[in-house]
C-alpha cells in the first residue's frame, strides 16, 4: 500500500523467522490465490485499519493469506498449533470469513509469551476481525471442535502489515 493505494502482487510467499514461529518458521509457504470476492473484503478491512490503526498517511507492505481449520468426527482443529505467539510484523489482523458448526476458536491477546496477562479475549463471528500491534502483543486461538456432529470449519483471512 503506497499513498493509500493497494497494489496487488499475483504471487508471493509467506515466511517467518524460526525464532518467531517455532512451528513453521524458516519455511517459505505459498497459498492459493485469493478470490476476487474475498479481495473486496481485504480492501474493506484495510480501509478501516488505515483510518483506525495504521494511519491514513502510512505506507505498508501487506500480506494476506487464507486459513481453513477443519474439525469434526472426533478431530480437533488447531488454529494456532504454535501456541501463544507473535508473527513478526508491525500489525496483524485476523479476519473471520466464515464459521460452520464451530465450538471454540476463541482469540486471545496477551502482553506476554506465557499468555498470563490477557488484555482481550473474544469469540469472533463471521465478518469480524481483531487487529493488533504484533510488536507489543502476543496472540492465540483456542482449538476448534464440532458444535454438533458433522463437518466443521473456521475460515480466516490473516492480514500482516509491515510499515515502510
**Do 109 and 93 contact (CB within 8 A), yes or no?**
no
Domains in the chain: boundaries? 13-163
Residue 156 has a pLDDT of: 94
Per residue in 49-88, pLDDT (tens digit) is 877 777 666 788 888 888 999 999 889 999 999 999 999 9
| Architecture (CATH level 2) of domain 13-163 | Sandwich (2.60)
Instruction: Give per-residue pLDDT as tens, 124-148.
Output: 999 899 999 999 999 999 999 999 9
* Residues listed for the chain: 164
Buried/exposed 73-103: b ≥16 CB within 10 Å, e otherwise: eeeebebbeeebbbbbbbbbbbbbbebbbbb
Amino acid at each position: 500500500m503506497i499513498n493509500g493505494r493497494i497494489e496487488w502482487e499475483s504471487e508471493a510467499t509467506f515466511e517467518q523467522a524460526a525464532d518467531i514461529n517455532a512451528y513453521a518458521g524458516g519455511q517459505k509457504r505459498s497459498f492459493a490465490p485469493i478470490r476476487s470476492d474475498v479481495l473486496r473484503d481485504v480492501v474493506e478491512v484495510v480501509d478501516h485499519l488505515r483510518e483506525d490503526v495504521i494511519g491514513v498517511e502510512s505506507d505498508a507492505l501487506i500480506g494476506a493469506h487464507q486459513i481453513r481449520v477443519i474439525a469434526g468426527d472426533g478431530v480437533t482443529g488447531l488454529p494456532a498449533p504454535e501456541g501463544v505467539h507473535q508473527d513478526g510484523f508491525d500489525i496483524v489482523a485476523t479476519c473471520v470469513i466464515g464459521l460452520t458448526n464451530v465450538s471454540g476458536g476463541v482469540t486471545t491477546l496477551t502482553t506476554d509469551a506465557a499468555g498470563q496477562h490477557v488484555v482481550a479475549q473474544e469469540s469472533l463471528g463471521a465478518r469480524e476481525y481483531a487487529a493488533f500491534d504484533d510488536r507489543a502483543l502476543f496472540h492465540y486461538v483456542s482449538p476448534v471442535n464440532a458444535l454438533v456432529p458433522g463437518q466443521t470449519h473456521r475460515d480466516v483471512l490473516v492480514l500482516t502489515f509491515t510499515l515502510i
